[in-house]
């Protein structure tokens, strides 16, 4: 069989994308299409006393203006997307979900108050200025550490406090571990907020065709099928009357899995009323308020160790910022708890979590989804312990890795999928050693660093390990069909946002069916093409969807061989499928093309035998019991200018282990993008809110996304530890690149500064924060 | 993020443009490269009712040498200035500043005149033109006047330009011999506006003593800040590291830096000291090379 899985093939979809031939939501143009603009609150917390839209309605070109009142009984808070975990005892969870348009109270800046629908977006935006809103500002809840204070304002008036959730997870007994410890490291660690910053903002075109009684919604969503099901339910339509299409999407990174965004509900509601197509394209400023964000957490944490650097236990109590609502349940903080444990043997663990409501945009997973926080916490503590104990940072990690014979390893606590957090497989040491080798760790420490220090230069190295839980259930599916041309068509429910699905999935299919990868035509994210699925999230496409492809195409292969065996009058085990035809091995004359077989399998006359199906087609599903856990080590060399606190990244090395690699080119691309994202999270990207909950940097002028000038060349190496949980042995890699970067950069900068007491306990960092840290105690 | 509606005119001569400006005054805005104005219009921070496009006025784009002065037309693109041999030779400080402005894409559109007229406190050219004793020619339908750079910048985004006036050209004295230059800045990302910066111009006499020194900060306060007297003490002395340090310390004491999310006043002041010192040092090193 041609080995296609694992080949560094160029992407099938790139010619279309690079020549502007790919359809994005904003490319959808329909006759009579109207445009929507949303009036958004300037206040973060305010009572809505009244809205007067009469002047807006009079503006020429305005078709309609709607507020919450207009929606009548259709106005309802969104359904919770992820329910709180049923498996943890004594969990408190107060479900408060976002509303389509503000009715009584604004809970974060940018929450929509009204929508204008007009002949053009320009007119719609002009009309926003005509609307008169009476808002009574209220004190805002901004600082998550003060959200639970007795005198804090209430984000949700019907709750007694701003507590969204509370739970405790334990493994072993931390208290007794603490009593046996030689060293206790205790710190307060902060991770602040950022955005996902996808190149394409969100966008929706919704069209109710009244004659066909059919709703079509083009949506930048990461999960078209649940959107279809939800919209049908909300508006009393049959699922067959609703088609949701997630076409090419310019980056997802998590926030596009959120549902339902107010705009998705409002546009659908409005087109059902007007029976005309309506387009809304989120602009960049709106994106800073209206698309979900991530990262805000404060940890009070301690680690108990022996004098030789073995972790006896870890206690991590933290607060997580939910923002104004909590439709996404506890996914992020549960990921944090799991990733605090990391690749390490931590027998005793205790973690108390408080999730709080604040008057800020809601948080939902953004690439990393709580994992970078956990990695930052444990890696920072290990670095501090290593320094206190005089152990090399790479050595302390080595001493604490889970050994190879423990897998599958049950970490006892529950994970984001509400199952026990079990690590399926791992082999951590080779990844670390490869990374050390690639970056020349020993030589740097022994020769280069002392030499540069002698010249007065502050150059430092870092090395951190991480795990990434990936590929969670419940399931995905795929339908694989041999067309009468011999080409293969494949449909799956997951949407695609640049991950290369059209190629990596095609490689899996082509591997079984003996066709060219370019002859596999993939449809993703169109509910009219595939009915079942959940979505693209949690680094799961290459695990869950690819294994569904694998299952479906092996069934089709079986069908091909059965039919060909009959037609060629040769036993199946003598047949091979190559170059789009089935041949009797060693007898090239005896062959039949896949196209011909497909036609024979779908005859126009005669009968399909009872118990068989027409065509060479199969639909299959894959659902893992629990997620596959990828891992790796990153290493970096930085130079710090101690006068300006400018940090320059000089080397960046990644060793990634995500099991079986489907396409190394695509994988490296995912890793590069992840690292770039991580560098942003670590050093550039931070949202600043004032005491009133006003966002101070809602544009790319002041919210700093790293560019090609800030991202170094990334050297990627691999180790391969296949997952035993799925036939392909694959694990996800979509978030891996981003996860360890803040921890790594903190270590490398500390190493470069190389002064006792200079300790980074916060992410993102910045020259200003490093300045305050370094010069804070020094005389100016 | 769509601009409010406006009337658009695209004159092909300077006179036509000035007539339009005279007619509409405060209601109008000229648009040069649009790199600053378009974002402001899209955010609806600027809502001109008439937009006068200068891009079709060829006579405003040139770099020439005239009577020991470089003359730069207002519509000359950053990229043209950056690559111009006359500029590199006679105003190396401007040459050095150009590559620190924004990205190549933005420099392809942004203009020399636009940057100065816009008067962003973090724009390199504000400090650079002050340090080089540049003069600006302002023209209206009624006539023209010359304003020296150090009298042109009034405040953040505020200049000596009247509502009916346009900046049409800048005149920059050609560098005398034995002069050295340097521009130092600290920006978050390579292409960002600087958190703080300093431009230095120095000259050495035959004995290696300082014969002229100028240090102008940008992105510290609302307007370019000339260190003035503080650096005058260098004159007649050998510019030793200690002396330079004390000069920048004195200069820094007079600064009133502002606060923003990327740099507090304290951090800015610290950067001003560091960057002022580095700029002076490097300028003197270059002057020494020039002298040889
Ligand atoms: C991402 C980004 C980064 C940037 N970084 C930097 C940087 O690091 N340093 C820097 O200096 N600049 C930077 N800029 C600004 C850039 O240099 C702009 O091009 C410049 O400030 C304005 O020039 P313009 O020709 O685009 O002017 P426009 O945007 O067209 O106009 C700006 C203003 O000046 C007025 N104006 C323009 N020309 C004239 C004239 N001849 N007479 C009177 N008024 C006039 C306009 O009416 C308007 O009010 C950056 C811009 C961006 C978008």
Report CA(A680)–ligand 1 centroid distance (Å). 27
- pLDDT (tens digit per residue) in B245-272: 999 999 999 999 999 999 999 999 999 9
With an 8 Å Cβ cutoff, is A612 touching chain B?
no
Q: Which atom of ligand 1 is nearest to the CA of B60?
A: 41
CA distance A90 to chain B (A): 41
What domains does chain A contain, in order, with CATH numbers? 14-19+473-622 (3.30.365.10), 32-138+200-250+255-290 (3.90.1170.50), 297-472+625-775 (3.30.365.10)
pLDDT tens across B181-197, in order?
Answer: 999 999 999 999 999 99
Confidence band for A539, pLDDT divided at 50, 70 and 90? confident
pTM here is 0.96
Segment B201-247, tens digit of pLDDT: 999 999 999 999 999 999 999 999 999 999 999 999 999 999 999 99
pLDDT value of position A779: 47
Q: Distance of CA B207 to CAs A394, B203, B214, B234, B283, Å?
A: 56, 11, 19, 14, 17
Does residue B72 sit within a domain?
yes
Q: What is the CA radius of gyration of chain A?
A: 28
pLDDT of residue A542: 87
- Name the B residues in 39-58 with CB < 8 Å from any A CB: 39, 43
> Is A777 near chain B, with CB under 8 Å?
no
Task: Name the band, by pLDDT with cuts 50, 70 and 90, for residue A1.
Answer: very low
pLDDT at B165: 97
Last residue within a domain, chosen from B138, B173, B208: B173
Residues of chain A found within 8 Å of residue B189, distances taken between Cβ atoms: 684, 704, 706-707, 709-710
Burial label, A390 (beta-carbon count in 10 A; 0-12, 13-18, 19+)? exposed
Integer Cα distance of A202 and B247 in angstroms: 53
Beta strands A646-657 and A715-718, pairing class: parallel
Residues B43 and B64 in one domain: no
CATH number at residue B67: 3.30.465.10
Is B279 among the domain residues? yes
pLDDT tens for residues A70-92?
Answer: 999 999 999 888 877 766 678 89
**Residue B86 within any structural domain of the chain:** yes
**Any residues with Cβ below 6 Å from ligand 1, and which?**
B 29-37, 74, 101-102, 106, 110-111, 113-115, 117-118, 120, 123-125, 161, 166-167, 191, 193
User: Per-residue pLDDT for A642 more than 80?
Assistant: yes
Q: Are A702 and B262 within 8 A, CB to CB?
A: yes
Q: Identify whether B143 is part of a domain.
A: yes
Question: Which ipTM was obtained for this model?
Answer: 0.96
| Percentage of chain A lying above the pLDDT 70 cut | 98
**Is some CB atom of chain A closer than 8 A to the CB atom of B271?**
yes
Q: Are residues B68 and B17 located together in one domain of the fold?
A: no
Interface contact flag, B191 A122, Cβ < 8 Å: no
Q: How confident is the model at residue A119 (pLDDT cuts 50, 70, 90)?
A: very high
Answer yes or no: do B42 and B88 share one domain.
no
Same domain as B77, residue B14: no
User: How many domains in chain B?
Assistant: 3
> What SS3 state is found at A449?
helix
Decide if A644 and B5 are in contact by the 8 Å CB cutoff. Answer: no
Q: Where in the sequence is the domain holding B49, given as residue range(s)?
A: 7-53
Nearest to B1 among A285, A643, A772 (CB): A285
Pairing of strands A278-281, A34-40: parallel
Domain annotation covers residue B2: no
Q: Percent of chain A, pLDDT > 90?
A: 91
Rounded CA separation A171/A169 (Å): 7
Q: Is the pLDDT of residue A411 over 60?
A: yes
Spell out the residues 6+ positions from residue B260 whose beta carbon is closer than 8 angstroms to its own. Answer: none
What's the average model confidence in pLDDT over A124-150? 98
Which one of B25, B26, B94, B102 would you pick to mutate in the ligand 1 pocket, going by the greatest count of ligand atoms within 8 A of its CB? B102
One domain for residues B65 and B139: yes
pLDDT tens for each residue of A647-682: 999 999 999 999 999 999 999 999 999 999 999 999
Count CB pairs under 8 A between chains A and B: 55
Do B155 and B239 fall within a single domain? Answer: no
- Cβ contacts of B60 within 8 Å, gap of 6 or more: B14, B54, B73, B74, B75, B76, B113, B168, B169
Residue A644 to chain B, least CA–CA distance (Å): 6
Under the banding of pLDDT at 50, 70 and 90, the label for residue A771 is: very high
Domain of residue B192, CATH code: 3.30.390.50
Q: Which of B16, B32, B53 is the last residue of a domain?
A: B53
Average pLDDT over residues B163-182: 95
Check CB contact of B4 with chain A, cutoff 8 Å.
yes
Residue B1, domain member (yes or no): no
Residues B112, B208 within the same domain? no
Pair B48, B142 in one domain: no
What is the pLDDT at residue A87?
64
Q: Per-residue pLDDT for A398 more than 70?
A: yes
Higher pLDDT: A181 or A471? It is A181
In Å, the largest CA–CA distance within chain A is: 94
Best mutation site among A38, A197, A644 for testing chain B: the one with the most B CBs within 10 Å? A644
Closest CB to A121 among B2, B39, B274: B2
Q: How far apart are CA A478 and CA A506, in angstroms?
A: 12
Cβ neighbours of A603 (radius 10 Å):
10
Cβ–Cβ contact A672 with B under 8 A: no
What gap in Å lies between CA B153 and CA B116, rounded to an integer?
9
Q: Residue A438, exposed/middle/buried by CB under 10 A (0-12, 13-18, 19+)?
A: middle
pLDDT tens digits for range B10-33:
999 999 999 999 999 899 999 999
On whether both B275 and B231 belong to a single domain, the answer is yes
Give CA–CA dist A289/A107, Å, rounded.
12
Query: Do B185 and B155 have their domain in common?
Result: no
Does B153 lie in the same domain as B68? yes
Q: Is A186 on the interface with B (CB under 8 A)?
A: no
- Could you identify the residue written with the tokens 């809304």? A280
In A, which residues are within 8 Å of B267 by CB distance?
Answer: 767-768, 771-772
**Residue A157 Cα, gap to closest chain B Cα (Å):** 32
Is there a single domain that holds both residue B156 and residue B102?
Answer: yes
* Count of residues making up chain B: 292
């Amino acid at each position: 069989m041609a080995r296609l899985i694992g080949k560094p093939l160029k992407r099938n979809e790139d010619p279309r994308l690079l020549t502007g031939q790919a359809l994005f939501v904003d490319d959808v143009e329909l006759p009579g299409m109207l445009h929507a603009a949303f009036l958004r609150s300037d206040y973060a917390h305010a009572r809505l006393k009244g809205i007067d839209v009469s002047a807006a309605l009079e503006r020429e070109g305005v078709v309609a203006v709607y507020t919450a009142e207009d929606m009548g009984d259709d106005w309802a808070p969104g359904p919770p997307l992820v329910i709180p975990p049923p498996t943890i005892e004594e969990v408190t969870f107060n479900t408060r979900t976002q509303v389509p348009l503000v009715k009584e109270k604004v809970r974060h800046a940018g929450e929509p108050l009204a929508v204008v629908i007009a002949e053009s977006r320009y007119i719609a935006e002009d009309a926003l200025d005509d609307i008169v809103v009476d808002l009574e500002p209220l004190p805002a809840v901004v600082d998550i550490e003060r959200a639970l204070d007795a005198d804090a304002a209430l984000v949700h008036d019907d709750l007694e406090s701003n507590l969204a959730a509370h739970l405790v997870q334990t493994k072993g007994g931390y208290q007794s571990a603490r009593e046996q410890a030689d060293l206790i490291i205790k710190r307060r660690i902060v991770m602040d907020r950022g955005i996902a910053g996808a190149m394409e903002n969100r966008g929706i075109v919704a069209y109710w065709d009244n004659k066909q009684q059919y709703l079509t919604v083009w949506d930048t969503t990461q999960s078209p099928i649940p959107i279809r099901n939800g919209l049908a339910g909300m508006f009393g339509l049959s699922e067959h009357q609703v088609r949701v299409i997630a076409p090419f999407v310019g980056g997802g990174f998590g926030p596009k899995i959120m549902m339902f965004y107010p705009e998705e509900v409002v546009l659908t509601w409005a087109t059902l009323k007007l029976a005309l197509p309506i387009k809304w394209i989120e602009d960049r400023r709106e994106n800073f308020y209206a698309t979900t964000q991530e990262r805000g957490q404060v940890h009070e944490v301690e680690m108990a160790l022996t004098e030789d650097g073995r972790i006896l236990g870890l206690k991590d109590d933290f607060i997580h910022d939910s923002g104004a609502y909590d439709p996404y349940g506890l996914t992020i903080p549960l990921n944090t708890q799991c990733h605090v444990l990391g690749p390490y043997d931590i027998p005793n663990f205790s973690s108390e979590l408080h999730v709080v409501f604040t008057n800020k945009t809601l948080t939902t997973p953004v690439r990393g989804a709580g994992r970078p926080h956990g990695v930052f916490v444990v890696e920072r503590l290990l670095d501090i312990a290593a320094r206190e104990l005089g152990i090399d940072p790479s050595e302390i990690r080595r001493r604490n890795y889970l050994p190879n014979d423990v897998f599958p390893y049950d970490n006892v606590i529950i994970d984001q999928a509400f199952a026990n957090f079990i690590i399926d497989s791992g082999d951590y040491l080779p990844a670390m050693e490869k990374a050390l080798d690639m970056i020349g760790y020993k030589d740097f420490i022994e020769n280069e660093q002392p030499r540069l220090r002698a010249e007065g230069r502050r150059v430092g190295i870092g090395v951190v390990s991480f795990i990434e839980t990936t590929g969670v259930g419940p399931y995905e599916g795929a339908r694989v069909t041999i067309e009468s041309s011999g080409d293969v068509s494949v449909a799956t429910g997951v949407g695609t946002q640049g991950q290369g699905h059209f190629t990596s999935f095609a490689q899996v299919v082509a591997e079984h069916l003996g066709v060219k990868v370019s002859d596999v035509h993939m449809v993703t994210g169109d509910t009219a093409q595939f009915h079942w699925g959940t979505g693209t999230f949690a680094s799961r496409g290459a695990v869950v969807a690819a294994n569904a492809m694998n299952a479906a195409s092996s069934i089709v292969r079986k069908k091909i061989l059965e039919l060909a065996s009959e037609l060629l009058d040769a036993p199946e085990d003598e047949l091979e499928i190559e170059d789009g035809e089935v041949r009797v091995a060693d007898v090239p004359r005896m062959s039949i093309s896949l196209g011909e077989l497909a036609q024979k399998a779908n005859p126009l006359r005669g009968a399909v035998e009872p118990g068989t199906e027409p065509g060479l087609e199969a639909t299959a599903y894959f659902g893992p019991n629990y997620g596959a856990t990828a891992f790796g080590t990153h290493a970096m060399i930085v130079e710090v200018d101690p006068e300006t606190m400018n940090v320059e990244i000089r080397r960046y090395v990644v060793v990634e282990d995500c099991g079986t690699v489907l396409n190394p080119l695509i994988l490296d691309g995912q890793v590069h993008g992840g690292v770039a994202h991580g560098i942003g999270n670590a050093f550039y990207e931070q949202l600043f809110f004032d005491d009133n909950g006003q966002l101070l940097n809602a544009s790319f002028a002041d919210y700093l996304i790293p560019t090609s000038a800030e991202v170094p060349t990334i050297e990627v190496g691999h180790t391969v530890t296949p997952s035993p949980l799925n036939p392909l042995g694959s694990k996800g890699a979509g978030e891996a690149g981003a996860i360890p970067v803040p921890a790594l950069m903190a270590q490398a900068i500390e190493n470069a500064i190389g002064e006792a007491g200079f300790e980074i306990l916060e992410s993102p960092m910045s020259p200003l924060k490093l300045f305050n840290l370094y010069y804070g105690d020094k005389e100016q | 993020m769509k601009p409010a509606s406006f009337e658009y005119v695209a004159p092909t001569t300077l006179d036509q443009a000035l007539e339009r400006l005279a007619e509409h005054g405060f209601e109008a805005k000229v648009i040069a490269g649009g790199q600053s104005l378009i974002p402001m219009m899209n955010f609806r921070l600027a809502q001109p009712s008439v937009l006068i496009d200068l891009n079709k006025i060829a006579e405003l784009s040139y770099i020439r040498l005239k009577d020991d002065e470089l003359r730069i037309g207002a519509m000359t693109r950053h990229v043209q200035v950056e690559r111009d041999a006359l500029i590199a030779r006679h105003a190396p400080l401007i040459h050095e500043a150009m590559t620190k402005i924004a990205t190549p894409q933005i420099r392809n559109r942004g203009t020399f005149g636009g940057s100065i007229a816009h008067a962003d406190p973090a724009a390199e050219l504000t400090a650079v033109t002050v340090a080089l004793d540049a003069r600006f020619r302002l023209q209206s339908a009624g006539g023209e006047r010359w304003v020296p750079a150090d009298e042109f910048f009034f405040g953040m985004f505020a200049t000596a330009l009247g509502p009916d006036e346009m900046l049409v050209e800048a005149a920059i004295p050609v560098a005398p011999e034995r002069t050295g230059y340097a521009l130092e800045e600290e920006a978050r990302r390579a292409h960002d506006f600087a958190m703080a910066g300093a431009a230095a111009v120095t000259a050495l006499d035959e004995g290696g003593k300082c014969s002229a020194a100028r240090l102008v900060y940008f992105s510290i306060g609302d307007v370019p800040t000339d260190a003035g007297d503080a650096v005058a003490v260098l004159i007649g002395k050998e510019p030793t590291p200690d002396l330079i340090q004390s000069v920048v310390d004195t200069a820094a004491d007079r600064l009133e830096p502002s606060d923003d999310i990327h740099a507090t006043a304290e951090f800015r002041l610290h950067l001003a000291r560091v960057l002022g010192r580095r700029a002076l040092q490097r300028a003197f090193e270059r002057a020494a090379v020039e002298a040889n």
